[in-house]
Amino acid sequence: MNYTDLINDIETLSTYVSDGYTKAVLRRAADAIEALQAAMPKWIPLKTRPMDEEERKEWSEKLGYDIDYDEAVIYVSQLPDDGQEVLVYSKYGGVSIDKFSDDPDYGCSFEENGDMDGIVAWMPLPEPPKEETE
């Protein structure tokens, strides 16, 4: 069962309840679940498009060699900030923490994984736990 199913079940249950207090409690529960779901980090897919001829020439000049058409892509999805540590998901199914680099001279990469060919999605790291004070 996912969050959406749970919210739907709560809303269905509330149609069978007649007293206002119980309906209000169920509504608050559904609202709380929706808020938790919205706050959860989600995988952000890395989407690309082929470079056009002008972009390929520009990058070939910048790098000092001709870029192969197979590797000539532009990332069109949201990318991490330069220097940001994130979770990365590889096309082989592995998950790891890596630091993103957006170098204006060499393009985008991750420190541990190198180029971005094997990465299919990324996600911001969750906030670290807060220290409890007594």
Phi, psi of 99 (to 5 degrees): -105, 130
C-beta of residue 61 within 8 angstroms of C-beta of residue 41: no
C-beta of residue 57 within 8 angstroms of C-beta of residue 50: no
Partners of 102 in the beta sheet?
A: 108
DSSP structural state of residue 84: -
Task: Walk along the chain (134 residues) in steps of 10 and give the mean pLDDT of each run.
Answer: 82 88 88 84 88 85 78 83 94 91 83 81 89 76
Spell out the domain ranges in the chain. Answer: 3-39, 44-124
